[in-house]
Amino acid sequence: MPGALENKVIVVIGGTSGIGLSAAKAFIAAGARVVALGRDQETSTEAEKVLAGNGLVITADATDPKAPVAAINVALGNFKRFDGLYHVAGGSGRKKGDGPLHEVSNDGWEYTVTLNLNSVFYSNRAAAQQFLRQNSGGSILNLSSVLAASPSAHFFATHAYSAAKAAIVGLSKASAAYYASTNIRFNVLAAGLVATPMSQRAQSDPAIMQFIASKQPLDGGRMAAPADLDAAAVYFMSDASRFVTGQVLAIDGGWELSDGQIPTERPRQPQAKQPNLIRTLAGIWNRLKS
């Protein structure tokens, strides 16, 4: 969509790899200038090369309340405006103690919720405060997950993660209602399983990949690519969505509509009872005697 974001300045939280970096490139292609925030120095360095000329990169932790404020200030200081925020940063807490409810550790819960929900609160609050100061309106887009509303008990039983992603939807809808009169819009993308560094566990598990082939059956049955989310992100950042707020758009290859249940083996057919030869002959003999 060339020109859809002409002259706009967008901050991408979690914009130096995966879904966020793909979106940042799409925003630039649509005419925007971008500030991408990432916490890993290596990916930040690579993102600087990719976005050079139309984007700036800052290295900071999205779970730090000061990080999104700094990113917005970089946008204002260098590009003299701020029009939209796309929050992508988040991740699995499985290695930190997330899992099924009865197994979730206190540390696992705190880590996962901090990474996936607190960071969204910090970035959305900072963006809303700036939009109110500007009296300009603006667009805030948050990345959630299909696991918020369409769980997968067998392969993706990380309940702190699902709870945090569901809370993103609640925060976004409540904020959308409250700020609608100021033209500050809040929307959500609910992503299916996407091929990113975060999903390496799934990508390396043949059973999960077989499951995904039927759970996300569109386009031959596959994981999403980061670019599959780009068009929607551009739309929500653009004026084309100026009359849209409080919406959740699933980009999931059909996840929410598909059962994805692949049997590991064919059901066994009940065996017919074999006749007992001795009993059969005895029955014939008794009938002949009578």
- Cα 210 to Cα 139, 264, 266: the distances in Å are 37, 10, 16
27 in Cβ contact with 5 (< 8 Å): yes
51 in Cβ contact with 112 (< 8 Å): no
Q: pLDDT for 124-180, tens place per residue?
A: 999 999 999 999 999 999 999 999 999 999 999 999 999 999 999 999 999 999 999
What's the rounded Cα separation, in Å, for the pair 152 and 165? Answer: 14
Catalytic pick among 86, 111, 122, 161: 161
Predicted pLDDT of residue 261: 58
Predicted pLDDT of residue 55: 97
Predicted pLDDT of residue 267: 39
Partnered with residue 12 across adjacent β-strands are 36, 86
What's the rounded Cα separation, in Å, for the pair 167 and 80? Answer: 33
Q: pLDDT for 202-212, tens place per residue?
A: 888 899 999 99
C-alpha triplet 151, 153, 156: angle, nearest 5°: 75
Predicted pLDDT of residue 159: 98
75 in Cβ contact with 8 (< 8 Å): no
Average pLDDT over residues 270-280: 59
Domains, in order of start, for the chain: 9-262 (3.40.50.720)
For 15-83, where are the alpha helices, taking DSSP H only?
A: 18-29, 41-51, 66-79
Predicted pLDDT of residue 199: 84
Strand, coil or helix: what is 17? coil
The beta-strand segments (E) located in 60-209 are 84-87, 138-145, 184-191
What's the rounded Cα separation, in Å, for the pair 195 and 173? Answer: 27
Predicted pLDDT of residue 269: 45
Strand, coil or helix: what is 187? strand
For residue 38, is it left (φ>0), alpha (ψ between -120 and 50) or beta? beta
Partnered with residue 35 across adjacent β-strands are 11, 56
Let me know if 161 is a catalytic residue. yes
Predicted pLDDT of residue 119: 98
Predicted pLDDT of residue 266: 40
Predicted pLDDT of residue 81: 97
Q: pLDDT for 195-250, tens place per residue?
A: 988 788 888 889 999 999 999 999 999 999 999 999 999 999 999 999 999 999 99
| Strands 9-13, 138-145: pairing kind | unpaired
What's the rounded Cα separation, in Å, for the pair 285 and 117? Answer: 81
Look up residue 251 and give its two tokens.
């980009």
